[in-house]
Structure 1
Amino acid sequence: MTAPGEHGWTPRAIGGFALITLVWGSTWLVIKDQVGSVPPSWSVVWRFMLACAGMFVLALVRGDSLRLGRAGQRLALVVGVLQFCLNFQFVYRAEQFLTSGIVAVLFALLMVPNALLARSFLGQAITRGFLVGSAIALSGIALLLLHEYRLAPPGAQVPLGVAFTIIGLMSASGANVLQAGREAHRHSPVALLAWAMLWGVLADLAVALLLYGPPQFEPRAGYLGGIAYLALMGSVLTFPIYARLLRDLGPGRAAYSSVIIPVVAMLLSTLFEGYEWSVLAAAGSVLVGAGLVVALRARRPAQ
Structure 2
Amino acid sequence: MSHKRSAFAEVGLPFIIFTAIWGSTWIVIRDQLGIVPPQWSVAYRFIIAGTAMALVAKWKGEDLRLGRGAIVPIAFLGFAQFCINFNAVYLAERHITSGVVATIFALLLIPSTLMGWAFLDHRPSNRFVWSSLVAIAGIALLFVHEFQQHSARAGEITIGIGLTLFGMVAASAANVFQARDEIRRFPLFSMLAWSMAAGAIMDAAIAFAMSGPPVFDNRPGYWVGVLYLALPASVLTFSLYYPVVRKIGPAKAAYSSVLVPIIAMGFSTVLEGYRWTPIAVAGAVLALGGMVGALTRGKNVLAPPDAA
Give me the TM-score of the superposition, normalised by structure 1: 0.95
The answer to whether residue 212 in structure 2 is matched with residue 213 in structure 1 is: yes
Unaligned stretches of 5+ in structure 1? Answer: 1-7
Structure 2 match to 1:114: 112
Matches within 5 A, 1:143-182: 143-152=141-150, 154-156=152-154, 157-182=156-181
Distance 2:183 2:289 in 1: 33
Aligned residues: 296
Asked if 2 retains the 8 angstrom alpha-carbon contact of 1:136 and 1:288, the reply is: yes
- Amino acid of the structure 1 residue aligned with 2:171: A
Give CA-to-partner distance per residue, 1:4-55, whole Å, 9 cap, x none: xxxx954320111111110000000001111112111011011111111110
- Amino acid of the structure 1 residue aligned with 2:301: P
Q: Residue 33 of structure 1 is aligned with which of 24, 31, 34? A: 31
Structure 1 match to 2:3: none
- Amino acid of the structure 2 residue aligned with 1:185: R
- Amino acid of the structure 2 residue aligned with 1:300: N
Give CA-to-partner distance per residue, 1:41-85, whole Å, 9 cap, x none: 011011111111110111111111112222222111100011000
Distance 1:300 1:155 in 2: 42
Asked if 1 retains the 8 angstrom alpha-carbon contact of 2:108 and 2:254, the reply is: yes
Distance 1:43 1:300 in 2: 39
Structure 1 match to 2:140: 142
- Amino acid of the structure 2 residue aligned with 1:274: G
Shift of 1:134: 0.6
Structure 1 match to 2:76: 78
- Amino acid of the structure 2 residue aligned with 1:145: F
Distance 1:161 1:9 in 2: 38
CA RMSD of aligned residues (A): 1.3
SS at match of 2:123: coil
Asked if 1 retains the 8 angstrom alpha-carbon contact of 2:75 and 2:198, the reply is: yes
Distance 1:30 1:72 in 2: 33
The answer to whether residue 212 in structure 2 is matched with residue 199 in structure 1 is: no
Distance 1:290 1:9 in 2: 26
Give CA-to-partner distance per residue, 1:143-198, whole Å, 9 cap, x none: 11111111115235100000100110111111000111112211221111001011
Asked if 1 retains the 8 angstrom alpha-carbon contact of 2:35 and 2:215, the reply is: no
Distance 1:170 1:289 in 2: 19
SS at match of 1:154: helix
SS at match of 1:98: coil
Alpha-carbon distance change, 254 to 132 in structure 1, aligned in 2, over 3 angstroms: same
Greater displacement, 70-79 / 109-118: 70-79
Give CA-to-partner distance per residue, 1:218-271, whole Å, 9 cap, x none: 010111111000000110100111111110110100000011100000001011
Give CA-to-partner distance per residue, 1:122-159, whole Å, 9 cap, x none: 11111101111111110110111111111115235100
Give me the TM-score of the superposition, normalised by structure 2: 0.93
Distance 2:9 2:226 in 1: 31
Unaligned stretches of 5+ in structure 2? Answer: 1-5, 304-308
Structure 2 match to 1:4: none
